[in-house]
């Protein structure tokens, strides 16, 4: 694994091939676009396709009689309880993915002599992500929702996480690059817990909201830890 | 033309010594940033060659019981070769970046082949297809810039021009205008047979790649662009596939394919700049010589013919992996308005109504290749840099 950025024969830029670039630019100047317009045509087409599109999927109806009753009860309490269920599903998916991301990061940091117990910190955060996952799981069960179903927002969160997972599991990426990926996840996670607490309150579930406050405090701590580790590593390399 | 001979004389590595481990097959990828673009060109091309070897071999096995075991034995190695080659593409390539690399392969290799091909009709066919793949590169480069905000030249490394060719919207033809005349097996040069097998295999892989990755995109325009271009690649497979003589026996086609693989690995080994990859090409060259020898033995046994009937005689020097920009520009200037009428090449004005009707219906609800490339002009760092200056 590379541990830091290094100078080398990166061939991607035009400065590495001035003669070829000149020839390429000659071609661009000689042979003009054959379709009039610009990228705004894509906007028009995308807007049209957005209108025509189906949804990604639905929030499942509760499978158990108990759940059915509870959701019916919740229906009376909130305008659209499925919005809250969808976001709970998203959080559960995100936290479960987060556990796996930290496991990948631990593998990355394992053989590094960083002198700051990096693995210990990562393990601690990983364990708390697991706790959060179980916390959301319990909340969904309490509401009669199915925590094993993939809600639409859970599905979309999985799409978002694909890039982060690719960065963390690529053996060639270094610690700073992976910390940056984790920071992206933690920033989103932090804001998401903040919102989830508000949503729980708005949906009329103050007990669930209270149970989430501790998780939010732990997420604040994750953010500080990841930011600090990343900053320290990069500043040390830059100085 | 400079030639080589004796390339097939070596016995190569015996089949039983062609061994792999899973770890080496799923080994370390090349660097998208630090390796030369032609290293990736060779990797993509040879994956296409190996997957076509599997395709042909399975086809033969459907018709020949006696050959089933020897073909299965060789296929096992070739599948592992394909794995080891294809797994060299790193995960930091987005599917669209890999697509740009695929089109670079199609352009640079087809242009090299077109210049060495001794049969004028076959050479014309390569030039015709070349201008279409050249245009695909332009449309995909626009898509890459406008979808991912990336510069296609980071992949192409200055070797290949990013400008319109024969417009993609005009590639869609009625099938009757995609069939080409074939070479005659008894009079065609071996290199003509090798070229047809090579380019058919390469285009087949491109088609299959686009069919697999097209649905991975969320953007409806990207999804449609892949649909539009994958359909052209199918036409290209039809076109190039019809260049070879259908009266060649199965085993004769097998022999030609193995000869092509030897020739291509030798070309790759000769020009590779990455020492680790060069060693792999050399190893696989020896493996292919082993496969060719097995094919020769079965040719003698089943057809009672001398393989020299097929393999003797000189070949042109190795396929050149280098920028073919000058040749491409000449072909573009001279032949962009060519179309096909049956197997013949005609001027745009004479394109048959069958193709026009076919195309008009397909495009009647919009064309992604036009929409994504409207007004697109490449600039170093992408079109936004041009607009900023």
Tell me the chain B residues in contact with residue A39 when contact means C-beta distances shorter than 8 Å.
146, 374-376, 383
Tell me the chain B residues in contact with residue A34 when contact means C-beta distances shorter than 8 Å.
164, 167
Is the CB of B332 inside 8 Å of chain A's CB atoms?
yes
Task: Find the mean pLDDT for residues A89-112.
Answer: 95
CA atoms of B73 and A92, how far apart (whole Å): 48
CA atoms of B371 and A232, how far apart (whole Å): 46
Tell me the chain B residues in contact with residue A14 when contact means C-beta distances shorter than 8 Å.
153, 158, 380
> Taking CB atoms and an 8 Å cut-off, how many pairs form between chains A and B?
109
pLDDT at A5: 82
Cβ separation A35–B374 shorter than 8 A? yes
CA atoms of A25 and B326, how far apart (whole Å): 14
CA atoms of A219 and A200, how far apart (whole Å): 18
pLDDT at B312: 86
Confidence of residue A114 (pLDDT cuts 50, 70, 90): low
Beta-carbon contacts of residue B356 (< 8 Å; ≥ 6 apart): none
Tell me the chain A residues in contact with residue B373 when contact means C-beta distances shorter than 8 Å.
33, 35
Q: Mutate one of A6, A19, A39 to test the B interface: name it (highest B CB count within 10 A).
A: A39
Cβ separation A28–B161 shorter than 8 A? yes
Is the CB of A10 inside 8 Å of chain B's CB atoms?
yes
Q: Tell which B residues from 190 to 229 touch A, by Cβ distance under 8 Å.
A: 218-221
Closest-CA residue of chain B to A35: B374
pLDDT digits (tens, 9 = 90+) for B279-309: 999 999 999 999 999 999 999 999 999 999 9
Closest-CA residue of chain A to B37: A11
Cβ separation B374–A38 shorter than 8 A? yes
CB-based contact B264:B49 (threshold 8 Å): yes
Burial class of B301 by CB neighbour count within 10 A (0 to 12, 13 to 18, 19+) = exposed
DSSP string, A111-144: T---SS-HHHHHHHHHHHHHHHHHHHHHHHHHTT
Q: State how far the alpha carbon of B88 is from the alpha carbons of B25, B43, B98, B277, B296, in Å.
A: 9, 7, 12, 9, 31
Higher pLDDT, B220 or A1: B220
**Within chain B, what is the greatest distance between any pair of CA atoms?**
70
Q: Is residue A78, in this structure, part of any structural domain at all?
A: no
CA atoms of A53 and A49, how far apart (whole Å): 6
Task: Find the mean pLDDT for residues A90-94.
Answer: 98
CB-based contact A38:A45 (threshold 8 Å): no
Q: Is residue A119, in this structure, part of any structural domain at all?
A: yes
Q: How far is A21 from chain B (nearest CA, A)?
A: 5
Packing angle, helices B37-63 and B275-303, rounded to 10: 20
Nearest to A27 among B28, B163, B371 (CB): B163
Q: How far is A207 from chain B (nearest CA, A)?
A: 38
pLDDT digits (tens, 9 = 90+) for B196-244: 999 999 999 999 999 999 999 999 999 999 999 999 999 999 999 999 9
- Domain span at residue A146 reads 64-69+85-238
CB-based contact B283:B25 (threshold 8 Å): no
**DSSP 8-state code for residue A14:** G
Q: Is B12 left (phi over 0), alpha (psi -120 to 50) or beta?
A: left
Entry pTM: 0.96
Cβ separation A11–B37 shorter than 8 A? yes
CA atoms of B386 and B45, how far apart (whole Å): 33
Smallest CA-to-CA distance from B376 within B157, B159, B225 is with B225
pLDDT at A104: 97
Tell me the chain A residues in contact with residue B374 when contact means C-beta distances shorter than 8 Å.
33, 35-39, 41
Tell me the chain A residues in contact with residue B90 when contact means C-beta distances shorter than 8 Å.
170, 172
Whichever domain contains A99, its CATH number is 1.20.1260.10
CB-based contact A93:A180 (threshold 8 Å): no
Task: Find the mean pLDDT for residues A150-174.
Answer: 97
pLDDT at B222: 98
Q: Whole-angstrom distance between the N-terminal and C-terminal Cα of chain B?
A: 47
Q: Is residue A155, in this structure, part of any structural domain at all?
A: yes
Closest-CA residue of chain B to A16: B157
CA atoms of A81 and A188, how far apart (whole Å): 23
Confidence of residue A237 (pLDDT cuts 50, 70, 90): confident
Beta-carbon contacts of residue B81 (< 8 Å; ≥ 6 apart): B50, B284, B287
Domain count, chain A: 1
Q: Is residue A159, in this structure, part of any structural domain at all?
A: yes
pLDDT digits (tens, 9 = 90+) for A34-82: 999 999 999 999 999 999 999 999 999 876 545 555 555 454 466 788 9
| Secondary structure of chain B as H, E, C letters | CCEECCCCCCCCCCHHHCCCCHHHHCCCCCCCCCCCHHHHHHHHHHHHHHHHHHHHHHHHHHHCCCCHHHHHHHHHHHHHHHHHHHCCCCCCCCHHHHHHHHHHHHHHHHHHHHHHCCCHHHHHHHHHHHHHHHHHHHHHHHHHHHHHCCCCHHHHCCCCCCCCCCCHHHCCCCHHHCCCCCCCCCCCCHHHHHHHHHHHHHHHHHHHHHHHHHHHCCCHHHHHHHHHHHHHHHHHHHHHHCCCCCCCCHHHHHHHHHHHHHHHHHHHHHHCCCHHHHHHHHHHHHHHHHHHHHHHHHHHHHHCCCCHHHHCCCEECCCCCCCCHHHHHHHHHHHCCEEEECCEEEEHHHCCHHHHHHHHHHHHHCCHHHHHHCCCCCCCCCHHHHHHC
pLDDT at A76: 40
CA atoms of A76 and A95, how far apart (whole Å): 29
Burial class of B304 by CB neighbour count within 10 A (0 to 12, 13 to 18, 19+) = exposed
ipTM of the complex: 0.92
Which pair of structure tokens corresponds to residue A16?
A: 């590495």
Q: Is residue A153, in this structure, part of any structural domain at all?
A: yes
Task: Collect the ranges in chain B with pLDDT lower than 70.
Answer: 1
Cβ separation A11–B153 shorter than 8 A? no
Which pair of structure tokens corresponds to residue B265?
A: 């690995």
Tell me the chain B residues in contact with residue A171 when contact means C-beta distances shorter than 8 Å.
28
Q: Tell which A residues from 17 to 46 touch B, by Cβ distance under 8 Å.
A: 17, 20-21, 23-25, 27-28, 30-39, 41-42, 45-46
Q: Is the dihedral of CA B37, B129, B313, B292 positive or negative?
A: positive
């Amino acid at each position: 694994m590379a541990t830091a950025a290094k100078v080398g024969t990166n061939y991607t830029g035009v400065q590495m091939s001035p003669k070829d670039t000149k020839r390429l630019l000659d071609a661009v100047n000689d042979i003009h676009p054959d379709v009039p317009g610009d990228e705004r045509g894509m906007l028009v087409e995308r807007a049209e396709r957005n209108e025509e599109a189906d949804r990604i999927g639905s929030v499942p109806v509760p499978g158990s009689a108990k759940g059915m009753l509870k959701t019916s009860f919740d229906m009376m309490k909130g305008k659209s309880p499925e919005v809250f269920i969808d976001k709970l599903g998203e959080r559960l998916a995100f936290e479960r993915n987060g556990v796996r991301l930290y496991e990948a990061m631990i593998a990355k940091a394992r053989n590094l002599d960083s002198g700051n117990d990096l693995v210990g910190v990562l393990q601690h955060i990983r364990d708390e992500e697991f706790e959060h996952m179980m916390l959301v799981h319990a909340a969904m069960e309490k509401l009669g929702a199915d925590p094993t179903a993939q809600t639409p927002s859970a599905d979309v969160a999985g799409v978002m996480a694909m890039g982060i997972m690719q960065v963390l599991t690529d053996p060639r990426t270094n610690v700073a690059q992976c910390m940056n990926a984790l920071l992206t996840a933690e920033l989103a996670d932090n804001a998401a817990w903040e919102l989830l607490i508000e949503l729980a309150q708005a949906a009329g579930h103050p007990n669930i909201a209270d149970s989430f406050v501790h998780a939010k405090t732990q997420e604040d701590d994750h953010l500080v830890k990841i930011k600090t580790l990343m900053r320290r590593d990069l500043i040390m390399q830059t100085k | 033309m400079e030639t080589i001979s004796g390339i097939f004389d070596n016995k190569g590595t015996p089949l039983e010594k062609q061994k792999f481990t899973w770890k080496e097959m799923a080994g370390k990828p090349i660097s998208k940033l630090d390796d030369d673009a032609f290293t990736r060109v060779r990797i993509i091309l040879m994956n296409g060659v190996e997957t076509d070897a599997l395709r042909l071999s399975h086809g033969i096995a459907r018709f020949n019981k006696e050959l089933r075991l020897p073909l299965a034995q060789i296929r096992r190695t070739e599948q592992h070769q394909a794995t080891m080659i294809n797994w060299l593409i790193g995960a930091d390539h987005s599917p669209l970046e890999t697509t740009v690399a695929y089109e670079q392969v199609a352009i640079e290799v087809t242009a090299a082949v077109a210049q060495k091909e001794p049969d004028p009709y076959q050479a014309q066919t390569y030039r015709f297809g070349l201008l279409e793949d050249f245009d695909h590169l332009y449309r995909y480069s626009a898509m890459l810039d406008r979808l991912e905000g990336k510069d296609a030249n980071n992949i192409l490394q200055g070797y290949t021009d990013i400008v319109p060719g024969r417009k993609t919207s005009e590639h869609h033809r009625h099938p009757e205008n995609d069939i080409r005349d074939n070479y005659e097996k008894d009079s065609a040069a071996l290199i003509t047979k090798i070229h047809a097998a090579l380019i058919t295999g390469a285009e087949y892989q491109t088609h299959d790649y686009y069919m697999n990755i097209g649905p991975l995109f969320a953007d409806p325009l990207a999804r449609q662009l892949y649909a539009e271009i994958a359909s052209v690649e199918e036409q290209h497979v039809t076109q190039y596939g019809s260049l070879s003589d259908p009266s060649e026996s199965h085993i004769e086609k097998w022999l030609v394919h193995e000869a092509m693989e030897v020739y291509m690995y030798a070309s790759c080994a000769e020009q590779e700049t990455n020492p680790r990859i060069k060693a792999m090409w050399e190893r696989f060259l020896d493996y292919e010589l082993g496969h060719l020898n097995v094919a020769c033995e079965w040719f003698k046994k089943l057809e009672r013919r001398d393989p020299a009937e097929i393999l003797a005689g000189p070949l042109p020097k190795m396929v050149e992996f280098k920028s073919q920009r000058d040749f491409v520009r000449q072909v573009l200037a001279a032949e962009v308005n060519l179309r096909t009428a049956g197997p013949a090449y005609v001027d745009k004005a004479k394109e048959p109504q069958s193709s026009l009707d076919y195309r008009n219906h397909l495009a009647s609800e919009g064309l992604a290749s036009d929409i994504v490339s409207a007004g697109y002009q490449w600039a170093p760092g992408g079109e936004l840099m041009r607009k900023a200056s």
